[in-house]
Chains A and B, each alone.
Chain A
Amino acid sequence: QLQLQESGPGLVKPSETLSLTCTVSGGSMRSSSYYWGWIRQPPGKGLEWIGSIYYSGSTYYNPSLKSRVTISVDTSKNQFSLELSSVTAADAAVYYCARLALGHWCDPWGQGTLVTVSS
């Protein structure tokens, strides 16, 4: 059974870079049938797609975040990562990683990790 687990600092200072890693277990990331993505949810609000990456390294980013986002993949470790630069309070959220089907649905999801932005 495929499982995803987010990891990284729970507190980031304003203007600094948020860095998270998603570790995939129970299966390989090297599949042409799926790709991998990050989604976030501010407290009490809805879901926002951040970006996606294929195991080959091809990336797709939300235009509203594109200038600040980098997603990378390390298939040797079965991990993919998110970097979001110049964070502000508006970036505080629960960050989820997920496997994305070619039909554009997300399943499964990681349990999520809460990131707070504060000095």
Chain B
Amino acid sequence: QSVLTQPPSVSGAPGQRVTISCTGSSSNIGAGYDVHWYQQLPGTAPKLLIYGNSNRPSGVPDRFSGSKSGTSASLAISGLQAEDEADYYCQSYDSSLSGFVFGTGAKVTVL
């Protein structure tokens, strides 16, 4: 029931920069609601990575950055490291659902 679309997979070599897109609609991202990003390592709970489109919680490396424009958002990982291999989810609020919506998830592979 995901209403935010992400690419299923993204890959890059160590040290490279990768980006993950998150496409929504006029009832969520396009309506002005913020986008948040989570990192889910295998077998663990999601962890907040970016909140309010571009803010990093304490402890999150500045290699991770977020942006939003129109009905889409992006997460960028620069200086890719092996420990960044994980699933990444975007999330926003949807006015038509009056609730949270998550992205389809993107798996990042470090080559």
Spell out A's residues near B (CB within 8 Å). 37, 39, 46-49, 51-52, 60-64, 96, 100-101, 103-112
Contact = CB atoms under 8 A, between A and B. Distances in A.
Contact of A49 (B33, B47, B101): B101
Contacts of A51: 99
Contacts of A107: 48, 51, 57
Interface of B: 1-2, 33-34, 36, 38, 44-48, 51-52, 57, 89, 91-93, 97-105
Closest 3 CB pairs of A and B: A49-B100, A107-B48, A105-B36
Given A46-B104, A47-B105, A48-B1, A106 B99 contact: no
A104 B51 CA distance: 9
Contacts, number: 71
A103 B52 contact: yes
Given A96-B46, A104-B34, A63 B97 contact: yes
B93 to A, nearest CB: 4
A105 B52 contact: yes
